[in-house]
């Protein structure tokens, strides 16, 4: 059986590796790496088809996270996305909108289709996506979405991340960065 000094050293090394791994992702983002390339590459959309994120290179992309049974933050986020969409339309600018489920176990293609219909979110450039729980957590971590479960509810903040045509972060809309018109 290993001694306590060995266990303490092993724990410290594991913590250091974890922190360096997380810092590496943040350094890649800060260093101009294409954030789009750091995200899980494939997602299932509300039509049951696979959306490959590589297909979005060269396009402006707004990414947020939501879930179909949310009654507080997600409706506010969808309202803001609609404002962004209208602002882009006025300027004749095109963008893709990715809404990734916080709750992929419950938000399958059918749940997202019903959500789209009930909320009149039928534009073809809006993609309602679900992935594996691991991919969902990875996307959230890379883009700075914090969430946790409280029973059947997902607790989360309001956040939208804009990726430029190069796949890098161009802007953030959240409670600390509320001037979303500047991104248009």
pLDDT in tens, 95-117: 999 999 999 999 999 999 999 99
The pTM score is 0.80
pLDDT, residue 153, reads 85
Q: Tell me the CA distances in angstroms from 170 to 99, 142, 163, 179, one per residue in order.
A: 17, 14, 5, 13
| Dihedral of the alpha carbons of 9, 13, 16, 20, in degrees to the nearest 10 | 170
Among residues 60, 44, 63, 61, the alpha carbon closest in space to that of 52 is found at 44
């Amino acid at each position: 059986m290993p001694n306590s000094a060995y266990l303490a050293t092993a724990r410290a090394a594991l913590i250091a590796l974890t922190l360096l791994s997380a810092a590496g992702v943040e350094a890649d983002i800060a260093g101009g790496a294409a954030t789009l390339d750091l995200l899980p590459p494939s997602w299932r959309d509300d039509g049951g088809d696979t959306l490959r994120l590589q297909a979005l290179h060269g396009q402006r992309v707004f990414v947020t996270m939501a879930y179909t049974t949310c009654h507080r933050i997600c409706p506010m986020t969808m309202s803001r996305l609609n404002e962004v969409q209208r602002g882009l339309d006025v300027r004749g600018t095109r963008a893709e909108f990715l809404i990734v489920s916080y709750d992929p176990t419950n938000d399958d293609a059918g749940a997202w289709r019903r959500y789209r219909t009930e909320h009149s979110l039928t534009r073809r450039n809006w993609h309602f996506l679900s992935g594996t729980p691991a991919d969902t957590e990875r996307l959230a971590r890379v883009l700075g979405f914090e969430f946790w479960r409280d029973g059947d509810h997902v607790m989360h903040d309001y956040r939208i991340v804009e990726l430029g045509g190069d796949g890098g972060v161009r802007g953030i809309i959240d409670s600390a960065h509320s001037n979303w018109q500047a991104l248009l």
